[in-house]
Amino acid sequence: MSKIVDLRSDTVTRPVPGMRRAIADAEVGDDVFGDDPTVNALEDRIAKLFGKEAALFVPSGTMGNQVALASITEPGDEVILERQCHIFNYEVAAAPALSGLQFNPVDGDAGVITVEQILPHIRHRDIHAPVTKVVALENTHNRAGGHIFPLEEMKRIRELTIERGLRVHLDGARLANAVVATGIPFDQYAACADTVSLCFSKGLGAPVGSAVASDAETVQKARRKRKQFGGGMRQAGILAAAALYALDHHVERLADDHENAQRLGARIESIDGLELAFSVDTNIVIFRVGEKFGSVDLLLAQLKKDGVLAVPFGPTLVRMVTHLDVNADDIDHVADMLESLGSAG
Ligand code: TLP
């Protein structure tokens, strides 16, 4: 078997030929001067898609989250978020380090936090207390196996935050997956947030780039923050062209990734010694590895020998992510391997 089946993340996708042509043909200018027509077109398109006044193209999902948070807070403010979310676990403590923010994590259920769970975390105005400023949500939720945060609960949280004068940031790195899986359009999710991000470099298959959408004033602040954080890009139109191509060609096809994840999940469930840690809603499959398989490290090493790559996601958990570079045959191959490793164990 020569083909590598890389399920470590949907970030591993390589630009398809059509996307490469769009990159090659892109009109460009210096985006720090606001002169790149392709970046401007992408920002307009994202603003419209999300029903917001403006949008900003940024190099990564992490920078999208960070410029958004920095633009709606002051140093010393507090951000309420779900304990397993990306901002809290995987952004190298950027918000405390760069923007002087404190996190107030809430234990959720499969990445979802409710109004009732958030309420006791909102600080009373007191000279001793940090000011609660933001509730940050993630949809779909990475560590909860691509779980979809229900729109109804997002709406309730939105109402609470309006009532309490708080802002909502939505880490929508994989929001396109939620949109395709539910049929709920981007703007309905975005309406529940002041700032919302989207990554082009995950399931959408672009090489680089994310966007943040919000009201015009907040996006203007975010543009300054992006520069401050070193993310001002020049002829970024070659990247924006890939993102525009992704929006045209790679959104609806996420349904294939979801189908492949379902296919993998169903096979995993039937293997003795493996157990799904979460229901499979979108393109992420997280499963528990029983003793029969030795350990997560052993299982991953055995898979790697045969060209299958996945990542550890905790002492007993493995994550596999489907994307446009893997097909149903690849998934069957991975499942067959897991099955045979299980029967050899
Ligand atoms: N997630 C990556 C790793 O960082 C874990 C992955 O392989 O899934 N929000 C969410 C929900 C994410 O999953 C990620 C990346 C980001 C933000 C950050 O995006 P990048 O990697 O572009 O900074």
Residues 74, 212, single domain; the answer is yes
Residues 57, 164, single domain; the answer is yes
Q: Counting beta carbons within 10 angstroms of the beta carbon of residue 49, is it exposed (0 to 12), middle (13 to 18) or buried (19 or more)?
A: buried
Residues 290, 146, single domain; the answer is no
Residue range 226-264, pLDDT digits in tens? 999 999 999 999 999 999 999 999 999 999 999 999 999
Residues 298, 226, single domain; the answer is no
Dist. CA 52–CA 169, nearest whole Å = 13
Evaluate whether residue 1 is within a structural domain: no
**Residue 185 is part of a domain; what is its CATH number?**
3.40.640.10
Q: 269 C-alpha to center of ligand 1: Å? A: 26
Q: 11 C-alpha to center of ligand 1: Å? A: 8
What are the strands of the beta sheet with 77-82, ordered from one edge?
Answer: 54-58, 210-214, 195-199, 167-171, 131-138, 77-82, 102-106
Query: Is pLDDT of 343 > 90?
Result: no
- Residue 345: predicted pLDDT: 59
Question: Which of 195, 226, 249 finishes a domain?
Answer: 249
What is the gyration radius of the CA atoms in the chain, in angstroms? 20
Question: How many structural domains does the chain have?
Answer: 2
Residues 163-175 have a mean pLDDT of 98
Q: Counting beta carbons within 10 angstroms of the beta carbon of residue 118, is it exposed (0 to 12), middle (13 to 18) or buried (19 or more)?
A: buried
Question: Which of 220, 249, 278 finishes a domain?
Answer: 249
Residues 167, 294, single domain; the answer is no
Q: 6 C-alpha to center of ligand 1: Å? A: 16
Which atom belonging to ligand 1 lies closest to the Cα atom of 62?
23
Query: Is pLDDT of 1 > 70?
Result: no
Range of the domain at 89: 17-249
Which letter, b or e, does each residue of 63-102 get, where b requires 16 or more Cβ atoms within 10 Å of its Cβ? Answer: bbbbbbbbbbbeeebbbbbbebbbbbeebeebbeebbebe
Residues 61, 125, single domain; the answer is yes
Residues 83, 136, single domain; the answer is yes
**Residue 302 is part of a domain; what is its CATH number?**
3.90.1150.10
Evaluate whether residue 330 is within a structural domain: yes
Dist. CA 99–CA 89, nearest whole Å = 16
In this prediction, residue 122 has a pLDDT band, given cuts at 50, 70 and 90, of very high
Identify whether the C-beta of residue 318 lies closer than 8 Å to the C-beta of residue 5.
Answer: no
Residue range 26-77, pLDDT digits in tens? 999 999 999 999 999 999 999 999 999 999 999 999 999 999 999 999 999 9
- Residue 340: predicted pLDDT: 93
Percent of the chain with pLDDT strictly greater than 70: 99
Residues 165-177 have a mean pLDDT of 98
Identify whether the C-beta of residue 209 lies closer than 8 Å to the C-beta of residue 243.
Answer: yes
Mean pLDDT over each residue of the chain, to the nearest integer:
97
Residues 139, 193, single domain; the answer is yes
φ, ψ for residue 166 (rounded to 5)?
-105, 165
Q: 83 C-alpha to center of ligand 1: Å? A: 15
Question: Which of 215, 249, 283 finishes a domain?
Answer: 249
- Residue 342: predicted pLDDT: 86
Q: What is the 3-state secondary structure (H, E, C) of 39-101?
A: HHHHHHHHHHHHCCCEEEEECCHHHHHHHHHHHCCCCCEEEEEECCCHHHHCCCCHHHHHHCC
Residues 163, 312, single domain; the answer is no
Dist. CA 209–CA 104, nearest whole Å = 28
Q: Per DSSP, what are the bridge partners of residue 78?
A: 102, 132
Evaluate whether residue 7 is within a structural domain: no
Query: Look-up: residue for tokens 């196996």?
Result: 145
Residues 192, 45, single domain; the answer is yes
- Residue 215: predicted pLDDT: 98
Ligand 1 environment, Cβ below 6 A? 9, 11, 60-62, 65, 86, 90, 138, 142, 171, 173, 199, 201, 210
Evaluate whether residue 4 is within a structural domain: no
Evaluate whether residue 11 is within a structural domain: no
Query: Is pLDDT of 161 > 90?
Result: yes
Atom 6, ligand 1: residue with shortest CA distance: 9
What's the predicted TM-score (pTM) here? 0.98
Residues 40, 181, single domain; the answer is yes
Query: Is pLDDT of 101 > 70?
Result: yes
Q: How many CA atoms lie within 13 A of 12 on its CB side?
A: 15
Residues 219, 327, single domain; the answer is no
